């Protein structure tokens, strides 16, 4: 017995597609195709009709908008791409694990890259010219592999005159892979 799956009408699918992308600009065409139970080509056509750029272009646009706000680091010092940033509040960055960031034997990402993404995001949150990591408590939850996309989410949980406490959680899809609590020293300058 074959069960037919009712397809969502094109107009309704496109409305929902726009809402999903607005809520999660990081979503891939493959994930959208699975969600709407259509082909990747159908998603691409829908995006083109709606004027929604491909994921890579959405990410570049988000990163360009948010990188201008960073005060404590030069943009080339941030590990990953900053997608959202509210100084002294929260931030989100994204990084895809490349071949030169993994161990050849296992394909597992080297931990210092995962740490560096979280640490640089924590420092980038600081609304001062000088910000330095004073202390870090970190925990790797599971290995990260070649081509996995890391999304780090940071938030300031406590703030003092000369330092901030920042929590960072890093995810692959919706699975947490890293947690860190950073104490960042802040100064207006020397």
Residue intervals in the chain for CATH 3.10.129.10: 58-187
The kind and range of the H/E element at 56 are helix 55-67
Q: Which two tokens stand for residue 14?
A: 């496109």
Per the model's pLDDT, the better-predicted residue between 62 and 24 turns out to be 24
Per the model's pLDDT, the better-predicted residue between 64 and 18 turns out to be 18
Distance of CA 128 to the CA centre of its chain: 23
CA–CA–CA angle 183, 131, 90 (5° rounding):
65
Q: What is the pLDDT of residue 58?
A: 76
Instruction: Give the mean model confidence (pLDDT) for residues 36-64.
Output: 82
Convert the pLDDT of each residue in 98-126 to its tens digit. 999 999 999 999 999 999 999 999 999 99
Q: Which two tokens stand for residue 182?
A: 């950073």
The CATH class of the 58-187 domain is: alpha beta
Provide the 3-class DSSP secondary structure of residue 23: helix
Residue intervals in the chain for CATH 1.10.10.10: 10-52
The kind and range of the H/E element at 86 are strand 81-86
Q: What is the CATH number of domain 10-52?
A: 1.10.10.10
Residue located via tokens 């056509």: 45
Q: Are strands 130-140 and 90-96 parallel, antiparallel or unpaired?
A: unpaired
Beta bridge partners of 166: 156, 182
Instruction: Give the mean model confidence (pLDDT) for residues 30-34.
Output: 88
* Whether the predicted model's global pTM rises above the 0.75 cut: no
């Amino acid at each position: 017995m074959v069960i037919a799956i009712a397809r969502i009408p094109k107009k309704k699918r496109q409305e929902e597609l726009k809402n999903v992308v607005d809520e999660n600009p990081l979503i891939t065409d493959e994930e959208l195709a699975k969600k709407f139970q259509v082909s990747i080509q159908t998603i691409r056509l829908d995006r083109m009709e709606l004027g929604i750029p491909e994921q890579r272009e959405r990410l570049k646009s988000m990163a360009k908008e948010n990188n201008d706000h960073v005060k404590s680091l030069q943009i080339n010092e941030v590990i990953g791409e900053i997608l959202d940033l509210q100084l002294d509040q929260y931030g989100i960055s994204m990084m895809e694990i490349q071949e030169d960031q993994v161990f050849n034997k296992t394909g597992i990402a080297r931990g210092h890259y995962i740490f560096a993404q979280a640490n640089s995001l924590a420092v980038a949150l600081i609304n001062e010219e000088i910000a330095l990591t004073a202390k870090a408590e970190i925990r790797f939850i599971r290995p990260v592999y070649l081509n996995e996309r890391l999304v780090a989410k940071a938030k300031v949980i406590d703030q003092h005159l000369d330092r901030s406490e920042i929590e960072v959680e890093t995810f692959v899809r919706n699975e947490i892979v890293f947690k860190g609590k950073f104490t960042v020293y802040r100064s207006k300058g020397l």
